Amino acid sequence: MNTELDKEVANYINSYQEFCKSNNIELRKELITFIANQKNAGVIPNEFIFKGNGEDLRKKRISDEQVLGIFKPLVYTSFLKIIDLRFNIISDKGAETIARFLLDNKSVESLILQSNDIGSHGAACISKALHINEYIKHLDISCNPIGQEGGMAIASMLQINTTLKKLEIYSCSLNSVAIIALATVLRNNTSLDYIDFSDNFQNTHNLTQSVQNAMMLHISNMIKYNNNVSDLRMRKMCITDWAMVDFLEKTIKINTVLNVLDLSR
């Protein structure tokens, strides 16, 4: 076992308990038990996986206040690579805490926040942090109501960030404006190789034909000019057979990098 990391983990647990006590934050016994079990097994924990739909957390999911307790003492640690907090009750306030953590942490590479209650402000905070953070390679913020503003914030981040490899933003209530912005930015992005923005735009029949065409044109150009994305997921986007033939058929033939294009319904 790495002595320095072992000491770091022990210091984290002490700091976590002290911080929660001094700020009247309820301790998450699952976290303490997990680290104790890892230590007893002679293992340095490299991931925090606390899924709110799991057996232990289903009845009492992680809240914004508890996110503060977990992340505040974690900032300058280096033992974690993965943090998975999907299916909890984290809102914009918790996302702000996580964003502050990302500004200084240099070890976490995968952050999964799927199916919480993060809105546009929270998505913007995390996106701004990723303007600076050079270590996160995988971000999953799917199934959060981030909307147009959140989508635009992510698009802005992708113009600057060069380390993110995998981005999952499906079922995020993105509209045509956000999707066009993302598609435009992704034309020139050279770091992402996997992106999933499925199930964001099912009501295409409510749009004018010109807006539908504009959206499909930008997606088509993204596929045409991007030379890095090998896996693109656009399920449940109500892409018609006509749009497929008119906009995507020729583009797909030109792209030599794309291995997976998921347009399933």
Two tokens at 6?
């072992």
Q: How far apart are CA 117 and CA 146, in angstroms?
A: 9
pLDDT of 26 reads 96
What residues make up the domain containing 165? 3-173
Domain total of the chain: 2
pLDDT of 215 reads 85
Beta-carbon count within 10 A of 65 CB: 16
Residues 154 and 197 in one domain: no
Could you give the percent of the chain with pLDDT greater than 90?
78
Task: State pLDDT tens for residues 98-140.
Answer: 999 999 999 999 999 999 999 999 999 999 999 999 999 999 9
- By residue count, the chain amounts to 265
Quick one: pLDDT band at residue 1, thresholds 50, 70, 90? low
3-state helix, strand and coil shares in percent for the chain, rounded to the nearest 5: 50, 10, 45
- Residue 183 placed within a domain: no
Residues 14 and 123 in one domain: yes
Q: How far apart are CA 246 and CA 243, in angstroms?
A: 5
CB 181 within 8 A of CB 151: yes
Mark which of 144, 173, 202 sits at the end of a domain.
173
Q: How far apart are CA 203 and CA 109, in angstroms?
A: 35
Task: State pLDDT tens for residues 176-218.
Answer: 899 999 999 999 999 999 999 999 875 555 666 777 788 888 9
What's the pTM value of the predicted model, to 2 decimals?
Answer: 0.94
Q: How far apart are CA 259 and CA 256, in angstroms?
A: 8
Q: How far apart are CA 28 and CA 191, in angstroms?
A: 36
In the predicted structure, residue 221 carries a pLDDT above the cut 70 = yes
Residues 142 and 62 in one domain: yes
- Residue 14 placed within a domain: yes
What residue type is 187 in one-letter code?
R
Beta bridge partners of 47: 82
- Residue 55 placed within a domain: yes
E strand segments, 25-96: 47-49, 82-84
Q: What are phi and psi of 246, to 5 degrees?
A: -75, -35
Task: State pLDDT tens for residues 143-175.
Answer: 999 999 999 999 999 999 999 999 999 999 999
- Residue 180 placed within a domain: no
- Residue 13 placed within a domain: yes
Mark which of 118, 145, 173 sits at the end of a domain.
173
**Virtual torsion, Cα 129, 141, 92, 89, nearest 10 deg:** -140
| DSSP string of 142-163, one letter each residue | -SS--HHHHHHHHHHHHTT---
- Residue 38 placed within a domain: yes
Q: How far apart are CA 38 and CA 225, in angstroms?
A: 46
Residues 138 and 212 in one domain: no
162-248-143 Cα angle (round to 5): 55
The CATH number of the domain holding residue 71 is: 3.80.10.10
- Residue 15 placed within a domain: yes
Mark which of 173, 203, 232 sits at the end of a domain.
173
